[in-house]
Homo-oligomer: A and B are copies of this chain.
Amino acid sequence: MGPEAGNFDRCKQKRGANNNMSYLLVIPGAISVLALISAYAFNRSVVRHPQGTDRMKELQGHIRAGAFTFMLEEARVMAITVLLIGGLLWILFYWEVAVAFWLGSFLSMAAGFIGMNAATHANARTTEGARKSFKDALAVAFSGGSVMGLSVAGLAVAGLVLVFIMFHWLYDPATLHIQTRHLFGIQGAAVNLIKGALVISAYSMGASLVALFDRVGGGIYTKAADTAADLVGKIEMHIPEDDPRNPATIADNVGDNVGDVGGLGADLLESFVGAIISVIVMSLYLYVGRNNPQMKNIVNTLGISGGLNPSTYWWLLISPLVIVGGGTFSSWLAILYIRFTGKASNVEGILMRGTRIAAVLTAVATFLFCWFSPLNLNIFYEVLLGLIAGVAIGFFSEYYTSTTYKPTRELSKINQDGPGISVAEGMALGMLSTFWPVLILAAATIGAYLFGNLLGVAFTAMGMLSFVAMTVSVDTYGPIADNAGGIATMAELPPEVRERTDKLDAIGNTTAAIGKGFAIGSAAFATLGLIASYMWSAIGKATAVLPPQLPIVGQIAPNLSPNGHPIAVGAYVLAGLIVGAMVPYVFSALLIRGVSHTAGLLVEEIRRQFKANPKIMSGEEQADFNRCISITAHGGLHKMMLPAGIAVATPFIIGLIFGRYALGGFLVGGLLSAIQLAIFCGNAGGAMDNAKKYIEEGNFGGKGSEAHEASIVGDTVGDPLKDTVGPSLDILIKLMSVIALVFASLFPIFPRWGI
């Protein structure tokens, strides 16, 4: 028996060996090692494939060099930021917090690098495979994607296991005691488990911060290069996509790797970690406050006879890692199935079946875990709800953006009426497409809540992401195929090679749409979980360390201050809501501007090169790729600073000046705006892109028609929305929430001034 939560006397107790179920950590630990070894093996298998002709090798070399240069430069900026923030954490809190933060940052960076490395190995080799057969191309591309998928899941889980092992005393209920520290007049009182919650939150914050940099920097890079290459190449010079004469071609292909691969890897690692840690943080608070009546209600949903004790505590704490371990193992099996299945006739079918296998096995594994644990099946239902909601939201992303369905086909048709109406219609399509995903999110919120209160919401978020290894693998092979196509065109290989890679790419787009649904849905849920954790820790700890009535989201404003004076909390919450809802708009505006300003500089450079040296256009001399690469890289790095700064600074400013309630409102407001904007941007951009592709297939006049011209305008508008703004918004809200969670104790409860 551990001490009661209400008892905050310094106390220590020998831990009862039979109570300690922390050995459960072996399961996720072993699975993460398996995933990382397999990723290494897949990478080796990719590298063993032939690279093709000298020209292909050369092109691959340029792309790899460009991608490495950019990501190393980005890493340098991140390293400085991360070092500084870690130092701040060390000074303000504890050394463990700083170490966990650095670990999270490092692993997130590693995920980006590993994925980008594998992708830039796989691209030319996929082209070479495509010279032989479609099946060979698929094998290389999918292996490359799997490296990323397995690394993301493996690194995230390994890191969390490592935090538990390194700082085991912080998570051991038998060592429950208070540490106090004073600094700058701020009193830091922490029960050990609560300090553990802070440490694991810092781990997540590190991962999120790096992911934001990767997504924003990479997103601006890739779309600026893409837009500029298209604007001058296709529209002004009338040369095809990926034409080797276009000075921005290499930059465009580098962009696929740093944005769509590196950015995506860091992004999904961050989502995955955020979803897991919000369960862990809540579990820690549940144990500490287990005698509080409201907390008891939540514990009751877990169906543990006798409530939380040091033994069932371990089951609860480690359950998220075991479940995502199960999901990772399931994904591993599904990846092997896809990789080594004999047929290559129906690739889309195989990929879909693989995804389904991973989802079903994850559900089975979760069921088995719940069955054998002292917990009831509610967690299983919550995870299942997450899986279903993720798939459903993914379906609607596909429905609104794929040319196999009505909305995008109609948008293609409307392109005949000119660019103005078609862009307006594309925006309308994006806005309309918020309907079903949001209803699904709302229904899943209610369902998850009924099963397990806010803890249920956190488990549902985790459920959506539990087989992330599979979704990332499938998501990543698309950009590899895209790059392979670029290399095929640039190396002037026979057209059937490009046809094969294009087919591969097209299938990737469909499966990627599902991945996007998961990303948005899980971001919303994980943020809810993080906000709930924030409210528990910020308001719960604040009003009187663990008060009888812990306020939760939606109930964030008692109208009296602790000393009984009437207080205008309502106003601060409202102001926080309104300001929070504004931040995603300003953030998005800065990203769009980052893309178009960088693209503008690049357009000038391309025009300059074509003008200065006519031999580039005639194909006699090579364009100066490197200048284009360095302009784009500079733009990406330069333009990511302000949006990233906003993401980090605003929760800080609101918290410091207006207090914890206002910050709670701010986070909820940000979440509400970001969900809608992310769906709107993702689907509007996706539909406009695919409407262009549909026209290029020969519909409504085909290439060169007026409809095609209009659709290119639509694509230019939609591209930054889809690939830069949408995914970055997902990270923004999680990062702001986790920053609030980590720094909560620094903020005053009410504004320092005035009433």
Chain A residues near B (Cβ < 8 Å): 227, 231, 235, 294, 297, 414, 417-421, 423-425, 427-432, 434-435, 438-439, 441-443, 445-446, 448-450, 453-454, 524, 528, 552-559, 566, 568-579, 581-582, 585-586, 588-590, 592-593, 595-596, 599-600, 603, 665, 668-669, 672-673, 675-676, 680, 712-717, 720-721, 754-755
Determine the chain B residues whose CB is within 8 A of the CB of A439 once the complex forms: 579, 582
CA distance A720 to B571 in the complex (A): 34
A425 to B418, CA, bound (A): 19
In the complex formed, the residue of B with least CB distance to A754 is B450
Q: Do A445 and B592 have beta carbons less than 8 Å apart?
A: no
Chain B residue numbers with a CB within 8 Å of A603 are 417
- A712 with B669: CB separation less than 8 A: no
- Distance between A714 CB and nearest chain B CB, rounded to angstroms: 8
Find A585's partner among B414, B431, B571 (CB 8 Å cutoff): B431
Query: In the bound complex, do residue B586 and residue A431 qualify as a contact, i.e. CB atoms below 8 Å apart?
Result: yes
State whether B574 touches A445 (Cβ < 8 A): yes
Q: Which residues of B contact A442 (CB under 8 A)?
A: 574-576, 578-579
Report the minimum CB–CB distance from A607 to chain B (whole Å): 11
Neighbouring B residues of A449 by C-beta, 8 Å: 568, 570-571, 574
Report the Cα distance A285→B425, complex, angstroms.
46
Contact between A554 and B553 (Cβ–Cβ < 8 Å)? no
> Contact: A676 with B582, CB < 8 Å?
yes
Q: Which of B427, B431, B448, B716 is close to A420, meaning CB atoms less than 8 Å apart?
A: B716
Chain B residues in 8 Å Cβ range of A675 = 578, 581
Q: How many angstroms between the C-alpha atoms of A557 and B556 in the bound complex?
A: 8
On whether the beta carbons of A581 and B673 are closer than 8 Å, the reply is yes
Interchain CA distance A258-B443 in the complex, whole Å: 41
Most-contacted residue by chain B among A439, A450, A589 (CB, 10 A): A589
Chain B's closest residue to A658 (CB) is: B446
Q: How far is the CB of A522 from chain B (nearest CB, A)?
A: 15
- Tell me if A528 and B423 are in contact (CB < 8 A): no
In the assembled complex, the Cα of A589 lies from the Cα of B586 at a distance in Å of 21
Contact residue among B446, B453, B586, B592 (Cβ-Cβ distance under 8 Å from A424): B592
Residues of B within 8 A of A713 (CB): 418-420, 423, 713
Option from B430, B596, B755 in Cβ contact (under 8 Å) with A421: B596
The residue of chain B having its C-beta at the shortest distance from the C-beta of A236 within the complex is B418
**Contact, CB under 8 Å: A592 / B427:** yes
Contacting pair A554 B552 (CB below 8 A): no
Return A13 CB to nearest CB of chain B, in Å.
32
C-alpha gap A556/B593 in the complex (Å): 39
Closest 8 CB pairs of A and B: A420-B716, A449-B571, A431-B589, A432-B589, A442-B575, A554-B570, A428-B592, A554-B573
Q: Is A570 touching B552 in the complex (CB atoms < 8 A)?
A: yes
- Which chain B residue shows the least CB distance to A435? B586
Residues of B near A714 (CB, < 8 A) are 420
| Interface contact B596-A716, CB-CB below 8 Å | no
Per the bound structure, the CA–CA distance linking A137 and B558 in Å amounts to 59
The CA of A577 and the CA of B580, in the complex, are separated in Å by 14
Q: Using A568-B446, A581-B675 as known contacts, say yes or no to A574 and B438 having CB atoms under 8 A apart.
A: no
Is the pair B717, A586 in contact by a Cβ cutoff of 8 Å?
A: no
When chains A and B are docked, how far (Å) is the Cα of A717 from the Cα of B713?
12
Chain B residues lying within 8 Å of A680, measured Cβ to Cβ, are 585
Contact between A431 and B552, CB atoms less than 8 A apart: no
Chain B residues whose CB sits within 8 angstroms of the CB of A721 once the complex forms: 424
Residue picked from A558, A577, A600, most chain B C-beta under 10 Å? A577
Residues of B within 8 A of A593 (CB): 425, 428, 432
Q: Is the CB of A434 within 8 A of B672?
A: no
Q: Which residues of B contact A435 (CB under 8 A)?
A: 582, 586
Would B586 and A420 count as touching, CB distance under 8 A? no
* Beyond A419-B713, A419-B716, 7 extra complex contacts between A and B, CB < 8 Å: A417-B596, A425-B592, A449-B571, A450-B755, A453-B568, A554-B569, A582-B676
Q: How far apart are A106's CB and chain B's nearest CB, in angstroms?
A: 34
Residues of B within 8 A of A569 (CB): 554-555
What chain B residues lie within 8 Å of A571 (beta carbons)?
445-446, 448-450
Q: Measured between C-beta atoms, what is the minimum distance from A752 to chain B in Å? A: 14
In the bound assembly, the distance between CA atoms of A708 and B60 in angstroms comes to: 42
Interchain CB contact under 8 A, B582 and A434: yes
Counting chain B CB atoms within 10 Å of each CB, which of A442, A448, A578, A754 scores highest?
A442
Rounded to whole angstroms, the CA-CA distance of A341 and B589 in the bound complex is 45
Which residues of chain B come closer than 8 Å to A600, judged between CB atoms?
Answer: 414, 417, 421
Question: Chain B contacts of A568 at CB under 8 A?
Answer: 446, 449-450, 453
Enumerate chain B residues within 8 angstroms of A566, measured Cβ to Cβ: 294, 297
Bound Cα distance A235, B297 (Å): 67
- The residue on B at minimum CB distance from A596 is B421
Chain B nearest CB, measured from A614 CB (Å): 23
A sample of 5 cross-chain residue pairs with beta-carbon separation below 8 angstroms, ordered by A number, consists of A297-B566, A417-B600, A446-B575, A450-B754, A552-B559
- A431–B595 Cα distance when bound, in Å, is 15
Whether A582 and B438, one on each chain, are in contact in the complex, defined by CB atoms closer than 8 angstroms, is yes
Q: Which of B418, B419, B429, B577 contacts A589 (CB 8 A)?
A: B429
Also in contact, A717 and B574, with CB within 8 A (given A552-B559, A557-B554): no
Min distance, Cβ A225 to any Cβ of chain B, angstroms? 14
Q: Are the C-beta atoms of B676 and A432 separated by less than 8 Å?
A: no
- Nearest CB to that of A674 among chain B residues? B581
In the bound assembly, the distance between CA atoms of A425 and B676 in angstroms comes to 20
Q: In the complex, A574→B441 CA distance in Å?
A: 10
A235 touching B418, Cβ below 8 Å: yes
Assembly CA distance A453 to B419 (angstroms): 49
A431 and chain B: residue at smallest CB distance: B589
A430 contacts which chain B residues (CB < 8 A)?
Answer: 589
Neighbour of A528 across the interface among B428, B432, B524, B574, CB < 8 A: B574
Contacts of A235 in B (CB 8 A): 418
Q: Are A570 and B454 in contact, CB atoms less than 8 angstroms apart?
A: yes
Nearest CB in chain B to that of A223: its residue: B424
Are B421 and A227 in contact (CB-based, < 8 A)? yes
Q: How far in angstroms is the closest Cβ of chain B from A717?
A: 5
Q: Report the Cα distance A432→B589, complex, angstroms.
A: 6
How far, in Å, is A339 (CB) from chain B's closest CB?
39
Q: Which of B294, B553, B579, B595 contacts A574 (CB 8 A)?
A: B553
Shortest CB–CB separation between residue A4 and chain B, in angstroms? 22
Please state if B446 and A579 are interface contacts (CB–CB under 8 Å). Answer: no
Give chain B residues whose Cβ lies under 8 Å from the Cβ of A720: 424
> How far apart are the CA atoms of A430 and B600 in the complex, in Å?
20
Task: With CB as the reference atom, state the residue of chain B lying closest to A231.
Answer: B418
Of A430, A570, A586, A595, the most chain B CB neighbours within 10 A belong to A570
